[in-house]
Amino acid sequence: MKKFTPIGKRTLKTAIAVILSALTMEYIIKDTPFFACIGAVASVERTMKKSIEAAFIRNLATAIGGVVGIVFSISTSNTILLGLGVIPVICVLNLFKKHESIVPGCIVFFAVVYLNDTDTGWIYGIRRISETFIGSMIGLIINNIIKNPIEEIEVKGEIKPA
């Protein structure tokens, strides 16, 4: 059995980003913080460069899955056709060579298509896309404010990244 690992800086940064995302969504935007919190978690990485890449991947996946979900949710309620909606999500993300975005893109597609409890699927989809973006931006801001010690040393030029 492994020994308990102490809570690190990245864990704390992630928690701060999630808390700020949740508070922003609950008290300013007045909506559920679910997708914003996911965006925040996805955007806090070891370095700022990796954080930007992760935020881009997550937001691209959310945008593609969300838009395809909007189109399918307003055009059909047929379960088989809705299930086929993963095809354009996967094809578009493959076209962009962003294979790591396929799973989150499909998850957002499913959320827009199947969790939409409003009569207007496009509003639900737009909200999911914008909430992920908000959480990602909060994650990036927190990651930029609270630097990783290794990244601080790399910026000063004292060590070279591996």
Structure token pair of residue 121: 């699927």
Q: Considering the domain boundaries, does residue 159 fall inside one?
A: no
Assigned domain for 3 exists: no
Domain that holds residue 135: 9-148
Say if pTM beats, i.e. exceeds, 0.75.
Answer: yes
Q: For the segment 106-151, what is each residue's pLDDT rounded down to a tens digit?
A: 999 988 888 876 567 788 888 888 999 999 999 999 998 887 766 5
With respect to residue 80, please indicate whether it lies within any of the assigned structural domains.
Answer: yes
| Total domain count, the chain | 1
CA separation, residue 22 to residues 40, 67, 78, 122 (Å)? 10, 24, 34, 23
- Whether residue 85 lies inside any domain: the answer is yes
Q: What is the pLDDT of residue 115?
A: 80
The answer to whether residues 114 and 73 touch, using CB atoms and an 8 Å cutoff, is no
**Which CA distances in Å does 28 have to 23, 25, 82, 131, 159?**
7, 6, 33, 12, 42
What does the pLDDT look like over 16-51, one tens digit per residue? 999 999 999 988 988 888 889 999 999 998 888 899
Cβ-proximal residues to 151 (8 Å cutoff; 6+ apart), any chain: 46, 47, 48
Looking at per-residue pLDDT, the higher value among 150 and 96 belongs to: 96
Instruction: Tell me whether residue 99 is in a domain.
Output: yes
Q: Is residue 2 part of a domain?
A: no
Query: Residue 130: inside a domain, yes or no?
Result: yes
Residue 119 is predicted with a pLDDT of 64
pLDDT at 160 over 90: no
Within a domain: residue 154? no
